[in-house]
Amino acid sequence: MKIVDIHTHVLPDEPGAALVCIGCGPIPDGALEQGHLFSAGLHPWDVTGDDAEALRKLGQLLELPQVLALGECGFDTLKGPSHNLQEKAFIRQVELSEQFRKPMILHVVRDFDSVIRLRKQLKPQQQWLIHGFCGGPQQMNQLYANGILVSFGLKHNPESLRQVPSSRLFLETDGKCPIQEVIHLAAHIRFAQNIGDGSQFAKSIEKQIRNNADRFLLQ
């Protein structure tokens, strides 16, 4: 595959170059035929407690071979319904992820403890990746130690982005800029301050994140 942007909400110019999050649908007209690839999930902000219909639609989407992952779903302490409702919806989605054997993309705001606790408790086979990670190296390593991956966008902690092992590097736009912008930023942070235009380093990062995305999505 050629996915370099592991999380966005915008169809990329080159179909298949990004994993496009579509919530619980629908898929944009013609996008399947054009070769776009998707993740689908019930965002914590959209959880209501009356989620049966949304989850039924999600199950249908997960049957499609072009829907490669479940998400974004997760926890947000600043926005959305009560923690209890968010956790119920999350656990149901972990079950779907396991049933369809598709990994999860998580939205987590100030509640990494819940994710770690549930990873330990539920012992899923599928991988989980927290998108838009802004935490420090210590938090990142705690997540890695519990088998949870992270991806970096424009907003991040540079020290974490510098320290992440190449084999675990994931980058994303979240629909906010071209992916090349994030790749060049990462090249400067990871290789040196002074690398000229950095194009050679950017190419090696691009290759690495594409391989990592393949491994994450096609396990």
> Which residues contribute to the site for Zn ion (CB under 5 A)?
174
Choice between 23 and 198, CB closer to Zn ion: 23
216 touches 55 (CB < 8 A): no
- β-pairing, 18-21 with 67-76? unpaired
Choice between 105 and 187, CB closer to Zn ion: 105
Closest CB 9 distance from Zn ion, rounded Å: 6
Closest CB 96 distance from Zn ion, rounded Å: 19
Q: Quote the CA–CA distance of 167 and 19 in Å, as a whole number.
A: 19
In the three-class reduction of DSSP (H, G, I as helix; E, B as strand; rest coil), residue 129 is classed as strand
Q: Quote the CA–CA distance of 140 and 62 in Å, as a whole number.
A: 29
Closest CB 8 distance from Zn ion, rounded Å: 7
Choice between 151 and 212, CB closer to Zn ion: 151
Closest CB 7 distance from Zn ion, rounded Å: 6
- β-pairing, 128-130 with 104-109? parallel
Closest CB 214 distance from Zn ion, rounded Å: 21
Q: What is the dihedral of CA 139, 219, 26, 84, to 10 degrees?
A: -40
Give residue for tokens 């965002």.
Answer: 43
Burial-class residue 120 by CB neighbours within 10 Å (0-12, 13-18, 19+).
exposed
Residue nearest to Zn ion (CB): 174
Choice between 187 and 213, CB closer to Zn ion: 213
Closest CB 178 distance from Zn ion, rounded Å: 16
Choice between 174 and 206, CB closer to Zn ion: 174
Find the helix packing angle between 83-100 and 112-122, rounded to 10°: 40
Q: Quote the CA–CA distance of 172 and 153 in Å, as a whole number.
A: 5
Choice between 20 and 183, CB closer to Zn ion: 20
